[in-house]
Amino acid sequence: MGVKLAGLTNSWLLRTKRRALAAAVALACASALLPASAQDQSPLDERILEIREQARFVPDKALQQLLKLEPEIAAAAPRTQAEFMTQISATRMGLGRNDIALEFAEKVIAYGKSLHDNAIVAKGMLTKVYVLFAQADVKAAHQLAFEAEKLAMSTSDAALRVQATITAGQTYAEQANFPQALTKLQQAVDMARPATDDPVSLLAALNALSKLYTQMREYDKASAALDELLAETGKIKSPGRMAMAKNTEYGLAIDSGQPKRAMRALLQSLELERKMGAERMVGITLVNLADINLKQHDFPRAAQYAAEALRSSLATQDKSAEAAARANMGQAYLGMGRIAEGKKQYEAGLARYEQENNKPDLQAALREYGEALERAGDLSGAVSAYHRERALSNELFETQRRQSVLELQEKYESEKRQRQIELLSRENQVKGAEIDNRRLQQRVWWLLALVFALASMVVGLLYRKVRHANAQLEVKNMELKAQSTLDPLTSLYNRRHFQDYMRGLNTAAGQKPELEKRAHHRDDIVGALFLLDVDHFKNINDTYGHAAGDAVLKMIAENLRVALRETDMIVRWGGEEFLAFLPAIPRHGVDEIARRILTGISSQAIRYQEHDISVNVSVGFAPFPLAPGDVPLPWERAVNLVDMALYLAKAHGRNRAYGVRGFENFHLTSMEVIEQDLERAWRAGYVDLSVVLGGPPGTPPASPSEHSNVVSIKHAKTGH
């Protein structure tokens, strides 16, 4: 519940937050890029060194100090000039002027190239990486980060090499390549330890390493890195660095289920930031304080912190913090029953992410918005938010699917080209051998037989190698295909496989004539679709940690395997959602299967770190195909209708299943009207629903004869 701008949890600002933190940590390291040896520093270098800490925490004051040095810079050494421009870029970015920051980063790169100084060029490239991150141009930032690291490692600048390695590690983490990220950040820590005259490099490396371990949910290792970070930070007596370390402690504490420690770390950080006058950091910390109070359902205090965060972010023109503050304020107002005010503030926060075209964060925000409206009793508003989230989810999935297909196709084409090159090379070798054979035949006839024999052996060996290479490629393609169809956590089929299967079913069956026949004649044997969602799954993650959430998802997957048949297709639909497609069951047994799913899952409890976690699910279901007006719906629309039934189940109390059994008086309405608002269509008598109620947690599955929790409802004109 709530929005935060620091820490490493699965809140809806996670991706934006990671980029912001990556840039912040790297900028902290970037500010250390003065000559490694103190004895080589000029008085001007020392003054820039003093300003660099100001640049990180109070960029407005640092910029004033830097501009005072400008008259002296023209006569300074090249690396001093480059450092000056780097700090100008850092302060401008800290003040939200990414355009000017990018301009100065480009100047550093051009200046370094004119001097043929790789250290200056690499420094400029890294500075540009951070600005690209701030502009959300992630792909370009990732590519440039790796180029900058390669160039930096060719120089003798120790601080620069540490900074580049940290940035490469954070880039791998952004790409979810945690093994490579861990290797890089451990290397950065090892490189930074000897640099005793540059403690900032070690602090930046330890900070990044602790956050990565938290992100990987290795909390013991994250805590060890944090302890060293706090100890090293205490040595330099920098309030700003200590505030950064406390924010890292907050991220670890909130993710590992230590809310009291998280609250304490935030309050300590806030005190340090206010003493420094670091107003942008203050705004972010206030956002996090609002978030943690939302988790504890202290809505008045959350609203107070959110209001303070909003005032701070407006003063500093920090648009991301402003959006987060408004969203948290909206949730707090909704929690207090002030629905109109809450919706106004939350919508204002959402507008910012729509402006940024930040679709993943917007999707998660809409999901939380719907849940908050549901808790506040605004079911129509919750349904609207849910539909917006679902449309965005489908769009993102299709984008991801297309990208994955293109990547797989590119990989296959690359391997195919490589194989063709190898074959051509081998053909050239054979042709060369044949030419040599002709020459030898003219000169020494008695060696002809031997040469042909050798040539035959070479061709045979090459042919065998080609066959072996093709076989290996086939095996790898099969492995890749298998991996692309399964969810790695639950080993269930993934959403892409289900979609491909249904498209293939359409093609193979000629648009499903047999299913159409079933729909027209209402056969006793039908297919069925079940879509289920874990109730209050976010609370499980927030309370017990993500490892507990993963255990819950695996438990549900196992229960579905037990409750359903081997011939049924079970799919990890996304997040905490699962889908099951049953190709052939008795029509009268559809409700019974929904009941079996509900009670089978609620009867289980997960034992996790001395806690028993009980789980319920909500289910939407329908026979398949659905045929309003005797025209079968495409499978996509059938799944969408089941999805709407699932949301009705959640909106009407959870731990239950809503099933679409059929349609009545369809000539008086249309499918578009029904899809726009399923509940209204139900109340108007156009949709025939059945409701299956789940039992309390721990209730053993009932026998097939116990159907008292199944209710058939054709319409609900007088309420439900």
Strand partners, 577: 533, 574
Q: Is the dihedral of CA 515, 517, 522, 523 positive or negative?
A: negative
Lookup result for tokens 């990547």? 407
Mean pLDDT, range 264-274, rounded to an integer: 92
What does the pLDDT look like over 485-511, one tens digit per residue? 788 888 889 888 888 888 877 665 554
405 pLDDT tier (thresholds 50, 70, 90): low
| Sequence spans of domains, the chain | 404-485, 493-713
- Compute the chain's Rg from CA coordinates: 31
Output the pLDDT for position 189: 92
Partner residues linked to 531 by β-bridges: 579, 620
* pLDDT, tens digit, 9 for 90 and up, residues 289-317: 999 998 888 999 999 999 999 998 888 88
What are the DSSP calls for 495-551, one per residue? HHHHHHHHHHHHHHTTS-HHHHHHHHHT-SEEEEEEEEEETTHHHHHHHH-HHHHHH
Give one DSSP letter per residue of 139-171, joined into a string. Answer: HHHHHHHHHHHHHHTTSS-HHHHHHHHHHHHHH
The CA distance from 270 to 272, in Å, is: 5
Q: Does the structure show a pLDDT above 80 at 459?
A: no
Q: Which of 269-273, 316-320, 324-328, 414-418 has the lowest mean pLDDT?
A: 414-418
Q: Rounded to the nearest 10 degrees, what angle do helices 635-651 and 379-443 cross at?
A: 140
Provide the 3-class DSSP secondary structure of residue 585. strand
Strand, coil or helix: what is 97? coil
Strand partners of residue 525:
586
> Do residues 701 and 596 make contact, with C-beta atoms less than 8 angstroms apart?
yes
pLDDT digits (tens, 9 = 90+) for 197-251: 678 888 999 999 999 999 888 999 999 999 999 999 888 888 888 999 999 999 9
pLDDT of residue 412: 59
Element (DSSP H or E) covering residue 44: helix 43-57
pLDDT bin (cut points 50, 70, 90) of residue 147 is very high
C-alpha–C-alpha distance, residues 440 and 451, integer Å: 8
Point out the least confidently predicted range of 163-177, 456-470, 560-574. 456-470
Helices (H) and strands (E) in the chain, counts: 28, 10
Q: How far apart are CA 642 and CA 498, in angstroms?
A: 15
- Residues 94 and 78 sit within 8 Å (Cβ to Cβ): no
Span of 13-17, 168-172, 337-341 with lowest mean pLDDT: 13-17
Lowest-pLDDT range, 31-45, 125-139, 295-309, 590-604?
31-45
Q: Grade residue 397 by pLDDT with cuts at 50, 70 and 90.
A: low
Residue predicted with more confidence, 655 or 483: 655
Q: Give 379: exposed, middle or buried? Use CB within 10 Å, 0-12, 13-18, 19+.
A: middle
Exposed / middle / buried, residue 30 (Cβ in 10 Å: 0-12, 13-18, 19+) = buried
What's the pLDDT at 153?
94
Q: Which helix or strand (DSSP H or E) is residue 659 part of? A: strand 656-663
Residue-wise pLDDT tens digits, 504-563: 776 655 544 444 444 444 458 888 999 999 998 888 888 888 888 888 999 999 989 888
With residue 577 as reference, give the H or E element that holds it: strand 577-586
Q: Which residue did the predictor score with more confidence, 506 or 579?
A: 579
Q: Which pairs from 322-326 meet CB under 8 Å and 24+ separation? A: 322/349, 322/352, 323/348, 323/349, 323/350, 323/351, 323/352, 323/353, 324/3, 324/4, 324/5, 324/13, 324/287, 324/349, 325/283, 325/286, 325/287, 325/290, 325/349, 326/352
Long-range CB contacts (within 8 A, 24+) of 416-425: 419/469, 419/470, 419/473, 422/466, 422/469, 423/466
C-alpha 299/C-alpha 293 separation (Å) is: 7
| Terminal Cα-to-Cα distance of the chain (whole angstroms) | 29
- CA–CA–CA angle 430, 431, 434 (5° rounding): 90
* pLDDT bracket for residue 9 (50, 70, 90): very low
Whole-number Å distance between alpha carbons of 479 and 500: 17
Q: Which CATH superfamily is domain 493-713 in?
A: Reverse transcriptase/Diguanylate cyclase domain (3.30.70.270)
194 upstream amide cis, omega within 30 of 0: no
Residue 399 scores a pLDDT above 90: no
3-state SS, 589-648, equals: HHHHHHHHHHHHHHCCEEEECCEEEECCEEEEEEEECCCHHHCCCCHHHHHHHHHHHHHH
| CB 39, CB 282: distance < 8 Å | no
Q: Which of 169, 155, 238 is nearest to 200 (CA)?
A: 238
Neighbour-count burial of 671, counting CB atoms closer than 10 A to its CB (0-12 exposed, 13-18 middle, 19+ buried) = middle
How far apart are alpha carbons 13 and 122 in whole angstroms?
30
Structure tokens at 121: 């060029």
Measured CA to CA in angstroms, residue 512 lies from 49, 508, 517, 632, 633 at distances of 72, 8, 9, 9, 11
pLDDT band at 470 (very low <50, low <70, confident <90, very high): low
Q: Quick one: which H or E segment has residue 396?
A: helix 379-443
Q: Report how far residue 618's alpha carbon sits from residue 652's, in angstroms, rounded to the nearest whole number.
A: 10
Q: What is the pLDDT of residues 357-380, one digit of tens each?
A: 666 677 778 888 888 888 888 888
d(CA 83, CA 597): 63
Q: How far apart are alpha carbons 510 and 115 in whole angstroms?
A: 68
More confident residue, 588 or 485: 588
Rounded to whole angstroms, the Cα distance separating 536 from 538 reads 6
d(CA 66, CA 60): 10
- Look up tokens 């000039």; give the residue: 81
The rounded mean pLDDT for the chain is 79
Between 234 and 62, whose confidence is greater? 234
C-alpha to C-alpha distances, 653 to 65, 375, 648, 649, 719, nearest whole angstrom: 60, 10, 9, 7, 15
Instruction: State the SS3 of 688-699.
Output: EEEEEECCCCCC
Provide the pLDDT for residue 184.
93
